[in-house]
Amino acid sequence: MRQSQWALPPARRCSSRAVTKTWQKTDHPSQEVRAAGLPVAFVTSLTCARRRVRPLVLSLHAVRVLPRSLRRTCLAAVVCAALLASPLLAGCHGTADAPTAGAAASDVGAAPAAERAPAPAHLGATYAPRDGHPLPSARVLTDLGRQIFFDASLSASGRMSCASCHDPAHAYGPPNTLSVQLGGPALDRPGPRATPALRYLETLAPFTEHHHDNDGDDSIDAGPTGGHMWDGRAGSAHAQAGMPLLSPDEMANASVDDVARKLAASGYAAQMREAFGTDVFDRPRTAFAAAGLALETFQQSPKDFYPFSSKYDAVLRGQAKLSAAEARGLAAFNDERRGNCAACHISSVTADGAFPLFTDFGHVALGVPRNRQLPANADPAHHDLGLCGPLRTDLADHPEYCGLFRTPTLRNVALRGAFFHNGRFHSLEEVVRFYAQRDTRSERWYPRDARGRVQRFDDLPAAYHDNVNVEPPFGGEPGGKPSLSDAEVRDIVAFLKTLTDADLLPTSGAPPRRP
């Protein structure tokens, strides 16, 4: 149920993505380099090649129509050609007629430092080692990240850690049924959105407006996809980790300096010095970035964040069987005419053998009813528009994105006590029923105005109602037959409960690991 701005009207399908490829609209060739996993130091040279060497531009474009399995090799060849074409690249970092390094030494004397040695392309990159300080091992970073994650002293209140909202016993999601969690210096400020779970985000890529699935068909643009947070505004887990530390509604630190001082006073400060250098606390932003990198690495720990240990995983391995109700639920879940859930919450093993994450990480508008219990919604002019604001600001001029939020994973969904970005629902069965009856029983979900008319999509200004997804299980005439019966709703819920990881089941006997 994905929406793509490149699709033909009505442009609201994620089950049929009949869209022509628009690679010429890619903003920067470095996106291709990063996507291929090539060293970031190649980015600058490739950028210059695209600007100044037409044959290399054509080569780069040609690579983009190849299958993904061949892209890395071909991109590497293009990059190498760019690096070898030094006479053609002259002027990328200096003037067009800049002499070579040899000429500068023998013919024209010493050139300014900026012309002699341009800054390395990797300078300041998150994963680049600092001079004299090689990156610590994954084991060291994971251990540090775990300690930081559970450290309540890093908050203004001294009582709130990352784990307060991202409880390991709830798949690193909220431990209660509150629509939004409370934070701030006195732990009395409601957050702006429901807290998402952190499990199964290991392959979540940075946000892009143009995503191509790894399915062998790069002609299909799936539209806005990826990024951490409900609106995808954080490009990585380390960027996301820094946001709650500084949010006035969460851990509420006044500044990066404030966080760095608390890190320096922590019980693991010596470990940070050993891992990142004795001078790591000399510069607050260096310490802040080090903490973010440790948190990100911790969140890549397979045992903690992607164990793939649910009953459904056992079924996929041939080690278990679904019950009759669970099997019926899976069938309805996958059926394009009934649940159609798998259109966005992929349920099958991928072509390359990966177990399903039950999300495509795409952004979609669902028309979720307004949660009038949220303090911000006391102002009738306030609307949370997802991709186009208010928390995200760089896409404010894209009205076609208003109301779109990132699709969450359904793994461990049965453990949640609040659903959707605004926490409007508190029962998994009600969520599935909303999908089935949103358009046929609108009066059940939306309020009426003074004249008795149902106000559909009441949390979205009328100008953006056309952004709302209408593919099954949505659609149908008011008063018509819902796409799912009550029995099928219950069956789907039974299936969704098979997605709970084994370590989180009440009978597992082993509480999630804490430091």
pLDDT digits (tens, 9 = 90+) for 259-307: 999 999 999 999 999 999 999 999 999 999 999 999 999 999 999 999 9
Categorize the per-residue pLDDT at 133 as very low, low, confident or very high, splitting at 50, 70 and 90: confident
Question: Of 117-131, 322-336, 500-514, which gets the smallest average pLDDT?
Answer: 117-131
For residue 284, CA distances in Å to 147, 208, 259, 341 come to 19, 30, 8, 45
With CA atoms as reference, report the closest residue to 227 among 392, 382, 26. Answer: 392
Percent pLDDT > 90 in the chain is 69
Neighbour count for residue 68 (Cβ, 10 Å): 16
Residues near 173 by Cβ (< 8 Å), separated by ≥ 6?
166, 167, 195, 196, 197, 198, 199, 412, 415, 416
Specify the CATH number of the domain 138-305. Answer: 1.10.760.10
Categorize the per-residue pLDDT at 217 as very low, low, confident or very high, splitting at 50, 70 and 90: confident
Question: Of 46-50, 327-331, 366-370, 475-479, which gets the smallest average pLDDT?
Answer: 46-50
Average pLDDT of the segment spanning 480-502: 97
> Virtual CA dihedral for 69, 75, 80, 83, nearest 10 degrees?
-160
Categorize the per-residue pLDDT at 78 as very low, low, confident or very high, splitting at 50, 70 and 90: very low
Angle at 510 between CA 505 and CA 515, to 5 degrees: 120
Average pLDDT, the chain: 82
- Phi and psi at residue 373, in whole multiples of 5°? -85, -15
Residue 182: its H or E element? strand 182-183
Please give the Cα distance from 507 to 94 (Å, whole number): 66
Average pLDDT of the segment spanning 154-167: 98
What pLDDT is recorded for position 509? 54
Q: Assign residue 76 a region (left: φ > 0; alpha: ψ between -120 and 50; beta: otherwise).
A: alpha
Categorize the per-residue pLDDT at 310 as very low, low, confident or very high, splitting at 50, 70 and 90: very high
What pLDDT is recorded for position 450? 94
Q: Per the structure block, which two tokens stand in for 286?
A: 């260096």
With CA atoms as reference, report the closest residue to 287 among 276, 299, 300. Answer: 276
Residues near 295 by Cβ (< 8 Å), separated by ≥ 6?
145, 148, 149, 162, 237, 238, 241
Q: Is there a common fold for 138-305 and 311-504?
A: yes
With CA atoms as reference, report the closest residue to 179 among 478, 9, 419, 5. Answer: 419
What pLDDT is recorded for position 510? 53
Please give the Cα distance from 201 to 7 (Å, whole number): 27
What is the DSSP annotation of 90-147? TTSSS-TTPPPHHHHHHTS-PPPHHHHSPPPTTTT-TTSPBTTBPPPPHHHHHHHHHH
What pLDDT is recorded for position 388? 97
For residue 248, CA distances in Å to 23, 142, 189, 233, 253 come to 40, 27, 8, 18, 7
Answer whether CATH 1.10.760.10 is correct for domain 311-504.
Answer: yes
Residue 298: its H or E element? helix 284-298
Categorize the per-residue pLDDT at 116 as very low, low, confident or very high, splitting at 50, 70 and 90: low
Categorize the per-residue pLDDT at 506 as very low, low, confident or very high, splitting at 50, 70 and 90: confident
pLDDT at residue 24 is higher than 80? no
Bigger pLDDT: 116 vs 381: 381
Percent pLDDT > 70 in the chain is 73
Q: Per the structure block, which two tokens stand in for 153?
A: 């002293």
For residue 325, CA distances in Å to 329, 469, 483 come to 6, 28, 18
What pLDDT is recorded for position 4? 39
What pLDDT is recorded for position 351? 85
What pLDDT is recorded for position 267? 98
Please give the Cα distance from 256 to 261 (Å, whole number): 9
Please give the Cα distance from 87 to 180 (Å, whole number): 58
Q: What is the pLDDT of residues 427-449, one digit of tens each?
A: 999 999 999 999 999 999 999 99
The bridge status of strand 189-190 relative to strand 363-364 is unpaired
**Could you tell me if 449 and 258 are in contact, meaning their C-beta atoms sit under 8 angstroms apart?**
no
Any idea where the domains of the chain sit in the sequence? 23-116, 138-305, 311-504
Categorize the per-residue pLDDT at 219 as very low, low, confident or very high, splitting at 50, 70 and 90: confident
Categorize the per-residue pLDDT at 123 as very low, low, confident or very high, splitting at 50, 70 and 90: low
**Could you tell me if 384 and 192 are in contact, meaning their C-beta atoms sit under 8 angstroms apart?**
yes
**Could you tell me if 427 and 418 are in contact, meaning their C-beta atoms sit under 8 angstroms apart?**
no
What pLDDT is recorded for position 56? 36
